[in-house]
Structure 1
Amino acid sequence: KKPKVEKDPGIPNAWPFKEQELKALEERRARVLKELEEKKLAKKLRAKERLDDLVHDTETRTTQGTLSADGSKRAFYKELLKVIEASDVIIEVLDARDPLGTRCPDMERLVFKSQTSKRLVLLLNKIDLVPKEIAEKWLKYLREELPTVAFKCNTQMQRSNLSRKKSKSKVILETSSDCLGADTLLQLLKNYSRSDELKRAITVGIVGLPNVGKSSLINSLKRSRAVSAGGTPGLTRTMQEVQLDKHVKLLDCPGVVLASATDSKPLMDLRNCTRIEKLADPVAPVKEIVSKCGHEKLMTFYKIPSFNTVDEFLQLVATIRGKFKKGGVVDTETAARIVLYEWNEGKISHYTVPPVREPAGPSESAIVTSWGKEFNVDEVFKREQSTVIAGLPCLSDADHTELPAGAPMSMDVTMMEVRKSFFSSGFLWIEPHPSL
């Protein structure tokens, strides 16, 4: 049993100092209440001061972030120039789903302007994400300008002994993590190093937009995790050297966003040039996806009913994926980021077709002919047809959406000052033929 709590009998009425004691109690009570109010007020003032300091720090970081972002962009651009200057052969990595949209003619002009002896090779990465007929069209289109290689990077997570296959059936290729096209690329580079003009080891620079697979390409060729690679743009911060063998040294270049003000922000986001988790407005690029793919394609992929607007689409995606905020409100922003992730990973399958080309000038034909002999492309590309292209799914069996080819990337005008200062410091600069 719990002991009984004795009740306070209070102050006896017969006590002569009762009035004084009651008055003292009231004063103490009032003093305690006043102290409590002062503490609450002081707590509110401290909270307001912390909030003001937080706002001030945020504004300061935003200002510094704008400056550091510009400085980071210039630093990446200088790394690009270093790679171009140090390389004998530059490989520009393109996304096979949209080769023109991930290509930068201004960057190619830098290669030609640095020295006339440098060679440029295009590489169609993620070739397994497009049908065979589309891959053949793009290879034919691009090989009219420059040597072009079809490639699929290794996607295994182990640190060494990465697999490399010479051929695949189309049933296995769609889900395989093995590398394809490495033998073709290596043979092309070794042919050039053994050409009459060189007969020496060569340095190969890997350039391209963020997240097109530059670091994964080096790891696939090295067959180990030589450099950091992942699906997040901006993992590579500085130029990295990897010795492939005694004939070839590879240079990994940070992905530089070479877009001018004429390129729309949603378009840049679709090209995965910005980290999706840091996008201020992830809904804007999703609007581009809906307009490009159409409603039926997205309804089939996400297994959702028909919708009329992008907001309705994101609400349905959030519901089907279980993304809700407090109170059961659908989280459309998270749903938009999910759609962008699946777009960049190739789960929402799509491709572009080459545009109609104008007749090539005599200078372009001369480049294709002379460089073709140095790389011995005829022999190398014959083997590529049976080892890489033959394993791709046919267009009739694929469930892809055809999109118009994207516009080539353009270089930021403000970065031209960096280029001038870089080459004015003693590096050779030769003006090319006007057609380049």
Structure 2
Amino acid sequence: MAQIWEYIKIALMNIKSNKGRSILTMLGIIIGISSVIMVISIGNGVRGQVNSELEGIAGGQIAFYVDSTRKDTTVTFDQSDFDAIMEHVDHVKGVTPAFSLWGTAEGPKGDFDISLAAGTTGLQYRASEPIIKGKYFTQNDYDSGVNACVITEASAIALFGTTDVIGMTFDATFYGVTQEMRIVGIRQDSASSLINMGSGMDKMVTAEAPLTFVGNKYGFYIDDTEEFYVMADSTENSVEVAGEVLNLMETRHNVRGENQIMMQSFTDVSSQFDTILGFITIFISFVAAISLLVGGIGVMNIMLVSVTERTREIGIRKALGARTGSILLQFLAEAGIITLLGGLIGIFLGILGGRLVGAIAGITPAVNPAVVIGASVFSCGIGIFFGIYPAKKAARLSPIEALRHE
């Protein structure tokens, strides 16, 4: 152990005596490690934030739909299916078809694009944000086909310049037909704007209304739908709910095992996103890691120069009885310490860079301790790997030939 510590001290003295050269040697390692750490930390931050946003939007939500690619399917869903789900499946908050309409909305403050979702009272559970003013449309409103819609805070401000809009109306046009919409409730805006960031969606009016009211105007009916949503009471119960609902629907429509009814849950979407982001992170990290290879070659080159410069020193040490293994370990220690120091500096700069980019983009980077430890070990390993050839060259020098070297 004492001998190893001696190698380390000698290596640090050599690095200190050649500061400029050592820093330039570390540069490739610093750039590579800092790039990898920054990319991974930002990637983890994006993954966590988007998953959190998705869970808030659709944490316990499962979509069921008819496989439209099959020409032999005869399945459509109706109110009796939705009633059966509420009656026979536990942990379900609501069930609703969701017809989406896109058009224009006109209010006192101007014209805007509008996205309108039409469904049953179960539609209220598709979003996690609460109703902060007024109310959601009731079952009685739904049964009666009442003109009642819920919009978001941002939508109210865009249309009217205020959120005190309960009872007010605005005109919405879909498929060339204009309809007056009466506001009964305001839904709180989403806490995160990540999904809408840069898409223009944050400038769109978002509304929800009874399918019975909208359907009568635009020809959508609950007894002829090919897609619906089930909202489980928690993300944890969504897998169990999904399986039970699928079995129930296949049994009711006599299509068990025929794969005519498909489903997609938050877990599926989250898994797909994680896979895509994982591939992107790996690819970018791979590109960034190329600089590590360049840095490693730089280490080998500098160590070869060091061997040449210290040939006489090596000859003296061998003449005084230094063993080949001692010379080998000394140069390997120097190469390993150079890259380890470069790796530690790179880790620090990578974490700092990740936080800076995160602050600009509104993302909280997540640094995995395992990645930091792995980067440290890897950077040291690069030095040892690329230092093997120079170290062997130094260790194999003939003491007589080395002492002749000027």
Same-fold call, TM cutoff 0.5? no
Higher helix share goes to which structure? 2
Pick 1 or 2: higher relative contact order, CA cutoff 8 A, min separation 6: 2
Question: Which is higher, the Rg of structure 1 or of structure 2?
Answer: 2
Q: TM-score, normalised by structure 1?
A: 0.23
